[in-house]
Amino acid sequence: MYIDTLPDPVRDAAQLLWDYHRVGIAHPVGQYDLLLVTGSHDLGVADRASELVLNPELSFRSVVISGGVGHVTSHEFAQSEASIFAARMFTRGVPTDAVWLEERATNTAENITNTKAMLSEVGVRIGRGLLVTKPYMERCMLATANKQWPEVSWDVTSVQVSLADYLSIVTNPQRALSIMVGDTQRIRVYGKAGYLTPQPMPKAVLDATDTMLAAGFDQFVVT
């Protein structure tokens, strides 16, 4: 497994950051006004969303897939993230008439604000929402939604796998770890800038971030 190739200090730091970001719920139940599927390069997010839509213990008044072309997907996708995710979800049995596409968002904040604007324009009001994202984006996504759309009571979820298994599934595990390090940094920077609700940043998390940066996982840091 990829994780076994990492030196012990780096592996421990990666696990600590992974655990820090995992603030979501594993088994959401009940009725939600909105399922907001946030686009990215990780098609596992679409698979997780499909599971939720087809789960008889859940119901959603509206399902929105949000994602235009981002920094990573501009080199990988010929269509918007929302379109790619929708096609994958449809092949898994999600009804084609059950999904709205928001195809302009290029970052996490725009996933929220563009969806809010789109639904407001057609008179759809949201009281309770469930976010679907990558595992290491749970904290950042939830904090962004709480800041940018505070009228909604938000939950967040992602695919339920361990770090070791996740790195074995994704096509580029080194990039995944680099993005996780960058997202950790963004939580601190963007919290101070007012883009998301401020989050606790324990010294252990800061130290783990420094360990990962020193090991070369620095491709997605804020410059």
Do 131 and 70 lie in a common domain?
Answer: yes
Do 153 and 166 lie in a common domain?
Answer: no
**201 burial type by CB count under 10 A (0-12 exposed, 13-18 middle, 19+ buried):** middle
Do 6 and 36 lie in a common domain?
Answer: no
Q: Compute how many other C-beta atoms are within 10 angstroms of the C-beta atom of residue 96.
A: 9
Do 9 and 35 lie in a common domain?
Answer: no
Do 141 and 202 lie in a common domain?
Answer: no
Read out DSSP for 38-54?
A: EP-S-THHHHHHHHHHT
**Number of domains, the chain:** 2
Q: Does residue 222 lie within any of the structural domains?
A: no
Q: Does residue 83 lie within any of the structural domains?
A: yes
Last residue of a domain, one of 157, 180, 205: 157
Q: Does residue 220 lie within any of the structural domains?
A: no
Contacts of 69 (CB under 8 A, 6+ apart): 77, 80, 81, 106
The whole-number pLDDT of residue 74 equals 65
Give the Cα separation of 175 and 138 in Å (integer).
Answer: 17
**Residue 42 in tokens:** 């990780």
pTM as predicted: 0.95
Do 186 and 140 lie in a common domain?
Answer: no
Q: Output phi, psi for 143, to 5 deg.
A: -65, -35
Do 17 and 118 lie in a common domain?
Answer: no
The whole-number pLDDT of residue 209 equals 97
CATH of the domain at 50: 3.40.50.620
Q: Does residue 219 lie within any of the structural domains?
A: no
Do 9 and 97 lie in a common domain?
Answer: no
Query: What is the full per-residue pLDDT of the chain (223 aa) written as tens digits?
Result: 999 999 999 999 999 999 999 999 999 999 999 999 999 999 999 999 999 999 999 999 999 999 998 777 766 777 999 999 999 999 999 999 989 999 999 999 999 999 999 999 999 999 999 999 999 999 999 999 999 999 999 999 999 999 999 999 999 999 999 999 999 999 999 999 999 999 999 999 999 999 999 999 999 998 6
Last residue of a domain, one of 112, 128, 157: 157
Do 150 and 112 lie in a common domain?
Answer: yes
Question: To 10 degrees, the CA torsion angle through 86, 87, 88, 89?
Answer: 50
Do 153 and 165 lie in a common domain?
Answer: no
Do 167 and 133 lie in a common domain?
Answer: no
Do 124 and 178 lie in a common domain?
Answer: no
Q: Does residue 93 lie within any of the structural domains?
A: yes
Domain membership of residue 146 as a residue range: 30-157
Last residue of a domain, one of 122, 139, 157: 157
